[in-house]
Amino acid sequence: MLNYLGRRVSYSAISILGLLTLVFFLTRLTGDPSALYLPLDSTPEARAAFAQLNGLDQPTYVQFWNFLTDLSRLDFGESMRQNRSAMSVALEAFPQTLKLAVVAMTLSTILAIVIGSIAAARPRGVFDRIASFLSLAGASAPDFWVAIVAILVFSVGLGILPTSGTGGWQYWIMPIFVLMLRPFGLLVQVVRGAMLSSLTSPYIKTARAKGLSRHSIVFGHALRNSLLPVITVAGDLTTGLINGAVIVESVFGWPGIGKLMIDSIIQRDFAVVQSTILVTALAIFILNIMIDLLYAVLDPRVRY
């Protein structure tokens, strides 16, 4: 187990370092930050002072070496926009994204397991056809389009939900609904397929011969053996939610790390962009490790 974790940490560290290196050079291609942070009529001396203050007056290779040195201390410098530690800015925004993703994924998974299991218990029935149609529609609908339509209907048209920001429970409804659609749609299909395979297994026929109820067979026996593929897909979808929350957070003005990343790219706040990338990458890495370890808990045949 320790050897496995050591390999995973090593491979992930290399991947994260490569990602941050790519981000470092790409952000420098977006332009000179002084054009955004200084007045249009600022003097060359003022621009030179701004570049020196933010370490942008040196050659790119020197900036990159300084970046690697600071990275070893997890120090990305200060935010040009907020004049404080870039890492602290990213860490303050990430919990908002994490809460949104956890709530959306938890509700999606629970609903998908229940609906997918019921649909598989009576294949090609009315409930199965309705569930399949709704799940495919949810999995196919673009997030940004659903978000805009939701704002037009519930905020502009009916006036019952706020358009953006955070606050009471009303602010959570539309972002969570939009984030839930795709995971819910995909997981219903995965649960249904896995359950159909399990319900035709010999041990299910034995359970039926013993006179067990349909509820006990579906949820007590077949569901447990169908969870591994569900966990695999749910884990991938959760990492996708953390990444894909960029669009939803931007549309709904949700103050998470996705919106912070977009704002920082537009404002050429290089330190914050790099910090948000690192925090997001580490969260995805930790989530993948947790999913791998959960396999061994659910399936005794899995060993690392």
Is the predicted pLDDT of residue 153 greater than 70, yes or no? yes
What are the helix (H) ranges across the chain? Answer: 2-28, 34-37, 44-53, 60-71, 86-121, 126-140, 143-150, 170-199, 202-209, 214-215, 223-225, 227-252, 257-266, 270-298
Query: In CATH, which superfamily holds the domain spanning 89-298?
Result: MetI-like (1.10.3720.10)
Asked whether 230 and 190 are in contact (CB, 8 A), the reply is yes
Mean pLDDT of the chain: 79
Contacts of 59 by beta carbon, 8 Å cutoff, 6+ apart:
none
pLDDT reading at 292 higher than 60: yes
State what percent of residues in the chain have pLDDT above 70: 85
Q: How far apart are CA 49 and CA 34, in angstroms?
A: 10
CA 240, 242, 247, 251: dihedral to nearest 10 degrees?
140
The answer to whether the CB of 172 falls within 8 A of the CB of 148 is no
Q: Which of 32-36, 41-45, 87-91, 201-205 has the lowest mean pLDDT?
A: 201-205
pLDDT at 18 over 80: yes
Supply the pLDDT for residue 1: 64
| Cα radius of gyration (the chain) | 24
pLDDT at position 217 is 63
Whether the Cβ atoms of residue 254 and residue 164 lie closer than 8 Å to each other: yes
pLDDT at 207: 62
Q: What is the mean pLDDT of residues 217-238?
A: 71
Average pLDDT over residues 215-219: 62
144-161: average pLDDT: 86
Q: Give the whole-angstrom CA distance, residue 98 versus residue 105.
A: 10
Residue 85 backbone phi and psi in degrees, to 5 = -55, 130
Residue 270 exposed, middle or buried by CB count within 10 Å (0-12, 13-18, 19+): buried
Cα pseudo-dihedral 292, 296, 302, 304, rounded to 10 = 60
Q: What is the pLDDT of residue 190?
A: 85
Most confident of 60-74, 156-170, 178-192, 281-295: 178-192
The residue extents of the domains of the chain are: 2-71, 89-298
How would you write 155-217 as a 3-class SS string? HHHCCCCCCCCCCCCHHHHHHHHHHHHHHHHHHHHHHHHHHHHHHCCHHHHHHHHCCCCHHHH
